[in-house]
Amino acid sequence: MKGGGLYSIIMIVVLFGLMYFMMIRPQKKQQQQWQNMINNLKKGDHVVTRGGLHGVIDSIDKANKTVTLDCDGIFLTFSLNAIGNVQSAPAAQQAQPAAKEEKTAEPAKEEKADSQAEDKETK
């Protein structure tokens, strides 16, 4: 009988140990990562709220724990707790719109040259 009681206590301790390593510890790590992300927010960061709204940070008020997001010209104020994650905008994505503008400008120049050549032929 005495050996059975000791075995039960050891099993309970092992179960609590497993619960800690499988549930509590990963949750604490995730919470710490989120807190670090919130502490490193700055103006201009692209964020997604927990509700799925995408925006760019316009201002951060650490005292009131709020953040103002610019969502296509509409400014919305959220609690810092509403920020789900920060999305990095790679330099390649930012350079693509500039490249597209150059490509659209070139055909316009060609069309202008073609129309000038046609004008000369008709005169």
The CA-to-CA distance between both ends of the chain, in Å, stands at: 116
User: What does DSSP say about strands 54-61 and 46-49: parallel, antiparallel, or unpaired?
Assistant: antiparallel
Q: What is the mean pLDDT of the chain?
A: 79
Q: Which residues contact 102 (CB under 8 A, 6 or more apart)?
A: none
Q: Kindly indicate the confidence band of residue 5, based on its pLDDT and cuts at 50, 70 and 90.
A: confident
Q: Identify the weakest region by mean pLDDT among 23-32, 51-60, 80-89.
A: 80-89
Instruction: State pTM to two decimals.
Output: 0.56
The CA-based diameter of the chain, rounded to the nearest angstrom, is: 116
